[in-house]
């Protein structure tokens, strides 16, 4: 396995020195920053939101979200200890203020919260789920009525095509529908060499 292949493998669950490198790439890649910003724009964040990010990586989106959600709560879950350290450092002030809470593990590792979330999002996470329908069902149960979930995806393999992005969007829409969501839309962000897509659903 080449060094590049080893680094690419780290994006699933960063660990060790190569995981730290993967975190640096995620935090410095311009398309990641644009994609994260766009995803948060789709959510139309409000000061009192109760927000959940799944797979927060180095914590870029959390940092931006904390500037908008000033009176609510932001929760993040990621199964990488390396990413937890990087995101905690990047969001240290908001964590100290009690506005951001980060946890290690999967959805099952989240402690009970007093109230359901108003908005939930992820970016380039859904492709790693073994059972996306089950995961989306869990998210639906964690949302308030009228709450929004956004699942953003951008193909990263070297031979990715525009069709790959749109095909994945169709898969995610179908998975959300199977999980019980009905008000579902596909949004597209033109990027090079392939677009990012976000499948946005409302819990009715």
CATH T-level assignment (fold) for domain 31-202: Rossmann fold (3.40.50)
| DSSP run (H or E) holding 9 | helix 3-10
Q: Which among 151, 166, 190, 169 has a CA at the least distance from the CA of 34?
A: 190
Q: 126-143, pLDDT tens digit by residue?
A: 999 999 999 999 999 999
The mean predicted confidence, pLDDT, of the chain is: 88
What is the pLDDT confidence band of residue 159, given thresholds at 50, 70 and 90?
Answer: confident
Asked whether the beta carbons of 38 and 196 are under 8 A apart, the reply is yes
What pTM value is reported for the model?
0.86
Q: Can you give the residue ranges of every domain in the chain?
A: 31-202
Convert the pLDDT of each residue in 2-48 to its tens digit.
444 444 444 444 545 544 444 444 555 566 889 999 999 999 999 99
Helix (H) or strand (E) holding 78: strand 73-78
Give the separation between CA 57 and CA 24, rounded to whole angstroms.
10
**Contact present, 46 and 52 (Cβ < 8 Å):** no
DSSP characters over 84-97: HHHHHHHTHHHHHT
Count H helices and E strands in the chain, helices first. 8, 7
Q: Model confidence over 188-203: pLDDT tens digits? A: 999 988 999 999 999 9
Full DSSP string of 83-140: HHHHHHHHTHHHHHTTSEEEEES-GGGSPP-SS-EEEEEEES-GGG-S-HHHHHHHHH
pLDDT given for residue 30 in this prediction: 63
Q: For residue range 50-102, list pLDDT tens digits in order.
A: 999 999 999 999 999 999 999 999 999 998 999 999 999 999 999 999 999 99
């Amino acid at each position: 396995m080449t060094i590049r292949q080893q680094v690419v493998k780290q994006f699933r669950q960063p660990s060790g020195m190569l995981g730290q490198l993967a975190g640096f790439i995620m935090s410095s890649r311009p398309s990641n920053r644009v994609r994260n910003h766009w995803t948060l724009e789709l959510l139309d964040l409000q000061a009192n939101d109760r927000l959940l990010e799944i797979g927060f990586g180095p914590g870029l989106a959390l940092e931006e979200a904390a500037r908008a959600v000033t009176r609510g709560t932001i929760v993040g879950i990621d199964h990488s200890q390396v990413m937890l350290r990087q995101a905690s450092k990047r969001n240290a002030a908001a964590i100290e203020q009690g506005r951001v809470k980060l946890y290690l593990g999967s959805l099952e590792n989240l402690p009970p919260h007093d109230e359901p979330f108003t908005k939930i999002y992820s970016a380039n996470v859904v492709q790693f789920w073994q059972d996306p329908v089950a995961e989306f069902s869990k998210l639906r149960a964690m949302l308030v009525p009228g709450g929004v979930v956004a699942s953003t995806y951008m193909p990263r393999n070297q031979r990715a095509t525009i069709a790959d992005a749109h095909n994945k969007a169709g898969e995610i829409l179908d998975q959300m529908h199977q999980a019980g969501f009905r008000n579902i839309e596909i949004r597209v962000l033109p990027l090079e060499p392939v677009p990012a897509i976000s499948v946005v659903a409302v819990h009715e």
